[in-house]
Structure 1
Amino acid sequence: MTAELKLGINVGYWQRDADDQTDTVLAAERCGYDSVFTAEAYGSDAFTPLTWYAARTSRIKLGTAVAQISARTPAATAMHALTLDALSGGRVILGLGASGPQVVEGWYGQPFPKPLARTREYLGIVRQVWRRDAPVTSAGPHYPLPLPGGAGLGKPLKSIVHPVRADIPVYLGAEGPKNVALAAEIAQGWLPLFVDPAQIEPVFGTSLADRPDGFEIAATVVTIVTDDLPAALEFAKIPVAFYIGGMGARQRNFHLDMIGRLGYAEEAARVQDLFLAGRRDEAIRAVPDELADAISLLGPIGRIKERLQLWRDSPVTTVLIAGVRDEPTLRAIKNIADS
């Protein structure tokens, strides 16, 4: 159980045809929300919108959920984070994730195998950059520094900028038990997606057993405040179907596996089949109502209050509200969370 459940917002991917979400971020800050998180897949990046919001706010924490490790070298990610952390007065939370083989190899042109080992090595370099204890080196094998071969002139270097914080918080986006265990071992937090609060302990209790004191679990939760619960359920199913069907290969889809761990393996396979067959509307309808409801906050504000208690009773420390953009609704949710 979480003693004090914090609220943040996840504004997701920046889209060219979408309204700027500065107003939403400012509203969240006024309402006392703890953090705002941005995302990236294979379009917009996570850091640029976050910098945009950082320049217009003064208190709210600034997180990436998640920056993909194959998108940037460890040193480049460390530079992004330390720069934004300094400009924002020490408000950055670096959320990192390995993504999946379709994106890593198809978009970034990087090898996907051994994602846990790559993540561990990657984060080790990032923290070397921030600490500035010595010139940065790494024995590899995934990110050797200096690079073997090449011109033969690589030199270990130390950041010319002294970070505001040498211990910027790092959260890992993870869905598999081993990856969640890695987050508990080497990071300050975990960023789960599509998680049922009532099943966190049964599914991930072993992975989280050795997490340190103060370990954060910041769960993104689709939230729709409305009197029309059936309509809210249909809307909440859209991202589930998209991630099961379109954000991973048929042979390897971590989101599908995650839904399977929640007890919906057959249903998830059906959703994937329909989505990959081009029958997307049917795929969305095939997402079980009880699944969409369990991983979301849906319905009238009174029902949201009841459902929020499930998250308060779980190990989750922060609920990242996704999908709410207007200040009155953000304030109403904050009020029930504080009550």
Structure 2
Amino acid sequence: MPAKQTVHLPVAAQPSVDTLVDLTRTAEELGYDHAWLPETWGRDAVTSLTAMALGTDEIGLGPSIVNVYSRSPALIGQTAATLQEVSDGRFRVGIGPSGPAVIQGWHGEAFDRPLRRTRETIDIVRKVLSGETVNYDGDCFTLGGFRLRCDPPETPPPIDAAGMGPKSVELAGRFADGWHATLFTPDGMEDRLDDLRRGVDLGDRDEDDVEVTLSLTCCALDDGERARTLARQHAAFYIGGMGTYYRDSLARQGYEDVAYDISTAWGNGDKERATELVNDDLLDHLSAAGTPERAREEFEKFADIDGVDSVAVGSPRGATVEEARETMRALAP
């Protein structure tokens, strides 16, 4: 079955919440299956997703990731139950540990035991969504007596886990309802899908019960060179400017030298050099960018990966709202 097409809304802060709602409406009109909103440094995901739910009718909604440090598992469960109600059953929650640069630098929390914390968060959120009283004695969390004081969702929203390393992807396969992948080459995805399948086997589960979503940087513009420049800048920022986890993930995918060179250049303040190091070959292995025809051709390489259920069309952080919309139209299902 061909991969579904979804939308990963721009990570850069948008002019207004209405902008996010409008982009989601556009995605709905174009036939995209789901709209994902990452919680990064812009507006919080919960308020934005509420507005998106109220402003649309059919498209699925959810955060591609909310981190498991800045909210308690019980609060994530409450939030998922509420957004499932507000969206009339269209919600899907994505969680993950993020990384030290975000958790320690932005939230002031210790980045401690990320895999165990993610596993226990999945357990607790499921218990909260069941409507049962939550008594939980884990290594990271101990809860007693918590229960929703409203009706639990008739259909609990699925819980996806984001991750890039072998063990985090194995965890998603073993315990979550889906895996969110970001900044992967086709070969890199194949390797991590092996880890996912190992987790599925360890959990004695069916692979069809774990939905794989690949978030892909896309930019399809009549000005193909601008599209590729935006995608190149985006890749350099994530590899060089977002701590070590994207750098290390790319290194595991066979690009160790260039990953560290990009990180070093960015860390030394030479963003132009870091961007130049994302050569055409690497760019084509991490994104679908160029003219609409070229972007569509590159997009299909990722959509054809066996084991990928959904490819999310994401925009580079430097793209304008209209460029994001133009890309969505060019790559629409």
TM, length-normalised to structure 1: 0.87
1:290-309 correspondence to structure 2 within 5 Å: 290-309=281-300
Query: Does structure 1 retain, via aligned residues, the 8 Å contact 2:221–2:327?
Result: no
Percent identity, please.
31
Higher CA-based Rg: 1
Find the residue that maps to 1:52 and give its secondary structure.
helix
Deviations 1:15-70 (A, max 9, x none): 26467132221111011110111112244321211111111001000010111111
Q: Which residue does 1:149 correspond to in 2?
A: none
Q: Which residue does 2:75 correspond to in 1?
A: 76
Say if 2:219 is the partner of 1:224: yes
Q: Which residue does 1:161 correspond to in 2?
A: 150
CA shift for structure 1 position 166: 5.2
Q: Which residue does 2:7 correspond to in 1?
A: 9
Q: Which residue does 2:163 correspond to in 1?
A: 174
1:13-92 correspondence to structure 2 within 5 Å: 13=11, 15=13, 17=15, 20-92=19-91
CA shift for structure 1 position 227: 4.5
Q: Which amino acid aligns with 1:297?
A: A
Find the residue that maps to 1:221 and give its secondary structure.
strand
Of residues 231, 236, 241, the one that matches 2:236 is 241
- Point out where structure 2 has 5 or more consecutive residues left out of the alignment: 201-206
CA shift for structure 1 position 316: 1.4
Structure 1 residues 111 and 166, CA, compared in 2 at 3 Å: closer, same or farther? farther
Deviations 1:165-205 (A, max 9, x none): 45311111100011001001111111111112243223542
Deviations 1:294-331 (A, max 9, x none): 12112233323322331232121111111285566534
Find the residue that maps to 2:179 and give its secondary structure.
strand
Query: Does structure 2 retain, via aligned residues, the 8 Å contact 1:127–1:166?
Result: no
Of residues 245, 248, 252, the one that matches 1:257 is 248
Deviations 1:240-290 (A, max 9, x none): 221222211xxxx11001111221111111111111111112211122221
TM, length-normalised to structure 2: 0.89
- Taking the aligned partners of 1:111 and 1:140, their CA distance within structure 2 comes to 18
Structure 1 residues 17 and 24, CA, compared in 2 at 3 Å: closer, same or farther? closer
Greater CA deviation, 195-204 or 90-99? 195-204
- Taking the aligned partners of 1:140 and 1:202, their CA distance within structure 2 comes to 31
Greater CA deviation, 227-236 or 25-34? 227-236
Query: Does structure 1 retain, via aligned residues, the 8 Å contact 2:7–2:27?
Result: yes
Query: Does structure 2 retain, via aligned residues, the 8 Å contact 1:275–1:283?
Result: yes
Q: Which residue does 2:311 correspond to in 1?
A: 319
Q: Which amino acid aligns with 2:135?
A: T
Q: In angstroms, what is the RMSD of aligned CA positions?
A: 2.1
Q: Which residue does 2:111 correspond to in 1?
A: 112
Q: Which residue does 2:203 correspond to in 1?
A: none
Q: Which residue does 1:153 correspond to in 2?
A: none
- Taking the aligned partners of 1:308 and 1:321, their CA distance within structure 2 comes to 9
- Taking the aligned partners of 1:235 and 1:13, their CA distance within structure 2 comes to 13
Q: Which residue does 2:209 correspond to in 1?
A: 214
Query: Does structure 2 retain, via aligned residues, the 8 Å contact 1:218–1:319?
Result: yes
Of residues 194, 199, 207, the one that matches 1:205 is 194
Find the residue that maps to 1:85 and give its secondary structure.
helix
Q: Which amino acid aligns with 2:153?
A: V
Of residues 133, 142, 152, the one that matches 1:144 is 142
1:92-103 correspondence to structure 2 within 5 Å: 92-103=91-102
CA shift for structure 1 position 102: 2.5
- Taking the aligned partners of 1:228 and 1:311, their CA distance within structure 2 comes to 23
- Taking the aligned partners of 2:66 and 2:192, their CA distance within structure 1 comes to 25
Find the residue that maps to 2:209 and give its secondary structure.
coil
- Taking the aligned partners of 1:299 and 1:14, their CA distance within structure 2 comes to 20
